[in-house]
Protein backbone atom coordinates (compact mmCIF):
# COMPACT_ATOMS: atom_id res chain seq x y z
CA UNK A 1 0.00 0.00 0.00
CA UNK A 2 1.45 3.33 -1.00
CA UNK A 3 1.44 6.21 1.40
CA UNK A 4 -0.09 9.22 -0.26
CA UNK A 5 2.00 12.31 0.09
CA UNK A 6 0.47 15.71 0.39
CA UNK A 7 2.48 18.83 0.08
CA UNK A 8 1.85 21.08 3.04
CA UNK A 9 1.65 24.78 2.35
CA UNK A 10 2.96 26.53 5.44
CA UNK A 11 1.12 29.71 4.47
CA UNK A 12 -2.32 28.11 4.36
CA UNK A 13 -4.22 29.17 7.45
CA UNK A 14 -7.81 29.63 8.48
CA UNK A 15 -9.28 33.08 8.05
CA UNK A 16 -10.63 34.57 11.26
CA UNK A 17 -13.31 37.23 11.17
CA UNK A 18 -14.57 39.25 14.11
CA UNK A 19 -17.93 40.88 13.79
CA UNK A 20 -20.71 42.18 15.96
CA UNK A 21 -24.29 42.73 14.97
CA UNK A 22 -27.37 43.41 17.00
CA UNK A 23 -31.07 43.58 16.36
CA UNK A 24 -31.78 45.71 19.43
CA UNK A 25 -31.54 49.48 19.28
CA UNK A 26 -29.23 51.02 21.86
CA UNK A 27 -32.08 53.06 23.36
CA UNK A 28 -34.06 49.87 24.05
CA UNK A 29 -31.29 48.12 25.96
CA UNK A 30 -31.54 48.20 29.76
CA UNK A 31 -29.15 50.58 31.48
CA UNK A 32 -27.65 49.50 34.80
CA UNK A 33 -26.05 51.69 37.42
CA UNK A 34 -26.59 49.86 40.70
CA UNK A 35 -26.19 46.30 41.91
CA UNK A 36 -29.97 46.14 42.38
CA UNK A 37 -30.53 47.00 38.70
CA UNK A 38 -27.92 44.41 37.68
CA UNK A 39 -29.64 41.80 39.88
CA UNK A 40 -33.03 42.54 38.30
CA UNK A 41 -31.68 42.14 34.76
CA UNK A 42 -29.85 38.92 35.64
CA UNK A 43 -32.92 37.57 37.48
CA UNK A 44 -35.02 37.96 34.32
CA UNK A 45 -32.36 36.11 32.30
CA UNK A 46 -31.97 33.25 34.81
CA UNK A 47 -34.06 30.16 34.30
CA UNK A 48 -36.31 29.80 37.35
CA UNK A 49 -36.07 26.02 37.37
CA UNK A 50 -32.23 26.16 37.55
CA UNK A 51 -31.40 28.80 40.17
CA UNK A 52 -32.02 26.40 43.06
CA UNK A 53 -30.91 23.30 41.16
CA UNK A 54 -27.48 23.67 39.51
CA UNK A 55 -24.78 26.34 39.56
CA UNK A 56 -24.47 28.51 36.46
CA UNK A 57 -21.95 31.28 35.74
CA UNK A 58 -23.07 34.17 33.54
CA UNK A 59 -21.52 37.40 32.30
CA UNK A 60 -23.34 40.65 31.56
CA UNK A 61 -21.68 42.53 28.70
CA UNK A 62 -21.93 46.31 28.92
CA UNK A 63 -21.42 49.27 26.61
CA UNK A 64 -19.52 52.37 27.69
CA UNK A 65 -22.87 53.86 28.80
CA UNK A 66 -23.60 50.74 30.92
CA UNK A 67 -26.28 49.54 28.53
CA UNK A 68 -26.63 45.76 28.49
CA UNK A 69 -25.30 44.36 25.22
CA UNK A 70 -26.18 40.84 26.29
CA UNK A 71 -25.84 38.10 28.87
CA UNK A 72 -23.87 34.96 28.13
CA UNK A 73 -23.76 31.71 30.08
CA UNK A 74 -20.11 30.74 30.47
CA UNK A 75 -20.60 27.48 32.32
CA UNK A 76 -23.11 25.19 33.98
CA UNK A 77 -22.10 22.77 36.66
CA UNK A 78 -23.48 20.61 39.39
CA UNK A 79 -25.24 21.34 42.63
CA UNK A 80 -22.09 22.57 44.38
CA UNK A 81 -20.01 24.31 41.71
CA UNK A 82 -19.09 25.03 38.13
CA UNK A 83 -15.80 25.47 36.29
CA UNK A 84 -15.15 28.88 34.73
CA UNK A 85 -12.64 29.36 31.92
CA UNK A 86 -11.45 32.99 32.08
CA UNK A 87 -10.61 32.87 28.36
CA UNK A 88 -14.29 32.24 27.53
CA UNK A 89 -15.36 35.19 29.67
CA UNK A 90 -13.16 37.54 27.68
CA UNK A 91 -13.78 35.87 24.32
CA UNK A 92 -17.44 36.86 24.74
CA UNK A 93 -16.52 40.36 25.96
CA UNK A 94 -14.16 40.99 23.05
CA UNK A 95 -16.50 39.59 20.41
CA UNK A 96 -19.34 41.83 21.65
CA UNK A 97 -17.08 44.91 21.93
CA UNK A 98 -18.02 45.16 25.60
CA UNK A 99 -16.45 48.03 27.51
CA UNK A 100 -16.98 46.39 30.91
CA UNK A 101 -18.54 43.28 32.38
CA UNK A 102 -20.47 42.11 35.42
CA UNK A 103 -20.12 38.53 36.65
CA UNK A 104 -22.84 36.46 38.29
CA UNK A 105 -23.30 32.95 39.52
CA UNK A 106 -25.93 31.30 41.63
CA UNK A 107 -25.67 29.28 44.80
CA UNK A 108 -28.33 26.55 44.65
CA UNK A 109 -27.96 26.14 48.44
CA UNK A 110 -29.39 29.63 48.94
CA UNK A 111 -26.23 30.78 50.76
CA UNK A 112 -25.39 34.33 49.71
CA UNK A 113 -21.87 34.46 51.13
CA UNK A 114 -18.93 33.99 48.72
CA UNK A 115 -16.56 31.07 49.21
CA UNK A 116 -12.78 31.51 49.08
CA UNK A 117 -12.94 29.90 45.64
CA UNK A 118 -15.48 32.56 44.54
CA UNK A 119 -13.14 35.30 45.77
CA UNK A 120 -10.09 33.83 44.00
CA UNK A 121 -11.97 33.42 40.72
CA UNK A 122 -13.23 37.01 40.91
CA UNK A 123 -9.68 38.29 41.36
CA UNK A 124 -8.37 36.18 38.43
CA UNK A 125 -11.06 37.51 36.10
CA UNK A 126 -10.49 41.05 37.38
CA UNK A 127 -6.73 40.79 36.69
CA UNK A 128 -7.38 39.59 33.14
CA UNK A 129 -9.79 42.48 32.64
CA UNK A 130 -7.21 44.97 33.82
CA UNK A 131 -4.80 43.72 31.14
CA UNK A 132 -7.47 43.81 28.42
CA UNK A 133 -8.94 47.15 29.56
CA UNK A 134 -12.32 45.49 30.11
CA UNK A 135 -12.99 46.03 33.81
CA UNK A 136 -15.13 43.85 36.05
CA UNK A 137 -17.64 46.22 37.64
CA UNK A 138 -19.21 43.70 40.02
CA UNK A 139 -19.77 40.02 40.75
CA UNK A 140 -23.16 38.96 42.06
CA UNK A 141 -24.05 35.77 43.85
CA UNK A 142 -27.68 35.05 43.00
CA UNK A 143 -30.35 33.12 44.82
CA UNK A 144 -34.10 33.03 44.31
CA UNK A 145 -34.47 35.32 47.33
CA UNK A 146 -31.72 37.89 46.85
CA UNK A 147 -28.13 38.62 45.94
CA UNK A 148 -24.67 39.44 47.25
CA UNK A 149 -22.65 42.14 45.49
CA UNK A 150 -18.85 41.95 45.66
CA UNK A 151 -18.67 45.68 44.78
CA UNK A 152 -21.19 46.74 47.44
CA UNK A 153 -19.31 44.73 50.08
CA UNK A 154 -15.87 46.11 49.13
CA UNK A 155 -14.68 42.71 47.87
CA UNK A 156 -13.83 43.87 44.36
Mean model confidence pLDDT for the chain: 90
For the segment 46-73, what is each residue's pLDDT rounded down to a tens digit?
A: 988 888 899 999 999 999 999 999 999 9
Predicted TM-score (pTM) above 0.75: yes
Q: What CATH number corresponds to the domain at position 37?
A: 3.40.140.10
- 3 falls within a domain: no
- 145 falls within a domain: yes
- 98 falls within a domain: yes
Rounded Cα distance between 18 and 85, Å, is 20
- What is the domain range of residue 142? 28-149
- 108 falls within a domain: yes
- 78 falls within a domain: yes
List CB contacts of 20: < 8 A, sequence separation 6 or more: 95, 96, 97
- 20 falls within a domain: no
- 17 falls within a domain: no
For the segment 11-47, what is each residue's pLDDT rounded down to a tens digit?
A: 676 776 656 677 888 888 999 999 999 999 999 999 8
Instruction: Name the domain count of the chain.
Output: 1
Q: How far is Cα of residue 15 from the mean position of the Cα atoms in its chain? A: 26
Amino acid sequence: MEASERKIDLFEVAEIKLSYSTKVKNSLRPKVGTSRQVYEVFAKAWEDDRIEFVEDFKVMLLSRANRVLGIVTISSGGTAGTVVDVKLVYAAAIKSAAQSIVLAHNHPSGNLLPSEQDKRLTQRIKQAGNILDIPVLDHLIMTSEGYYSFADEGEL
